Structures are given as C-alpha cells and as structure tokens.
Amino acid sequence: MDIYYEPGLENEATVASESVAKVFLTNCKILEKDRGQLLRYNKLVNGYELRGLENQVPSLTLTTKDLFMTGSTSRDDDYFYGFSYYSAWVSVCRLWSINDQPEAEIKVKKQTFVRRLDHVLIHELGHIFVRNQEHYEPYIITNEKTGHKTDTGEHCLDKRCVMSQFEDLVMLETHINDRYPGYFCERCRSSIRV
C-alpha cells in the first residue's frame, strides 16, 4: 500500500508506515506528493471537500488541509480528522491542536499527537480492510448547542474497538486509553483482509 504525504509531513508518514506495519502486517511505500488536486476548496468553511475518490486503490494520504463533508456550511461541525472512501485520508491540522481548531503546526506534545494520529489512521484504513461490517450501525453527531447533525457513516458499536466513532479530541483520548491492545474487537478483527 502507498502512503502519500504533503511536503513537511515526512515524519508523520514514517509514523503511519510503522502503525500500518504493526497493525495490518504490511509494508508501505512512502511517497511525497500533494494530492490536493483530488479535493475541492470550500471557501465557506475554509477547508477542502473530499469527492470523486471511487477509482482509487487503497492508500493513505496525510495532509495539513482541513477536511469537510461535501457541501458543508458548518466549520464547527462537518470537519473530519480522517475520511475513508476507497482510499483513506487523514488531516493533521486538528489532531495536533489543543482545542479542535485547525492549526498550521503542532501545538501539543509530540507523543500526544502521535497517539492520536496512530488511532485515526488505523480507524480510517479499518473502514477499507475490515470486510464484514454487518455489526456496524449509523453514527450521527448532534451539536448540542445548534442541533446541527453530521452523519459520519457506519461504525462499530464496541467502544473499545478502534472502529467505534468519536466526536472530538476529548472523546478520542478516552477511546485511545480504553482501546483493546490489538486495536480491533473480535468481530472486526476476524474479517480484516489487506
């Protein structure tokens, strides 16, 4: 599998390849490449929308761009830490923040950021490599202040499984702390095919 990274994210690409080797037992080719041409800029949210990825082979792309759902009008609600549809994408700009706001550079301890990055990229690749998702259920995030709903797709209901959904960095940290040592619940793990 290939891992693409924007210039400046080579350390993150190395972290990613080590995570993938450890969890999915496969080696990656690491390639410096800005894949921004696959995205569409949405000026309402000052971020990029993911679109038209149907013909991609499985890969992972690391970007500093803030990622949003297609047609998003809500900067506070519709962003993704990562996204997976044929290929997996992970944005670092909020994962290295203190308070979920997009940042141009790392604002937390490197170890904190690396733990978050590892979890999110394994989650996104899990959307591709966990082949039996019959036990998944739709997950919708509701903003308690505004009532805004974001449909984040189907996820594992086992809160200790890396394939369960989280809503913000606080919840992500809880999930990392409580996660199974092998990342996946038994039902997800048994159908992983890379």
Of 16, 92, 188, 192, the one binding Zn ion by CB under 5 A: 188
- Nearest approach, Cβ of 82 to Zn ion (angstroms)? 7
The full DSSP string for 65-127 is S-EE-TT---TTTSEESEEEESEEEEE-TTTT-SSS---SS--S-HHHHHHHHHHHHHHHHHH
Least Å from the CB of residue 43 to Zn ion:
26
Amino acid identity for residue 77 in this structure: D
Rule CB under 5 A: which of 138-167 touch Zn ion? 156, 158, 161, 163
Pick the piece of the chain touching Zn ion (CB under 5 A) from 15-23, 39-47, 107-115, 182-190. Answer: 182-190
Minimum distance, C-beta of residue 157 to Zn ion, in the bound complex (Å): 8
> Which letter does DSSP use for residue 18 in this model?
H
192 binds Zn ion (CB under 5 A): no
State how far the Cα of 189 lies from the Cα of 156, in Å rounded to an integer: 11
**Residue 120 binds Zn ion, judged by CB under 5 A:** no
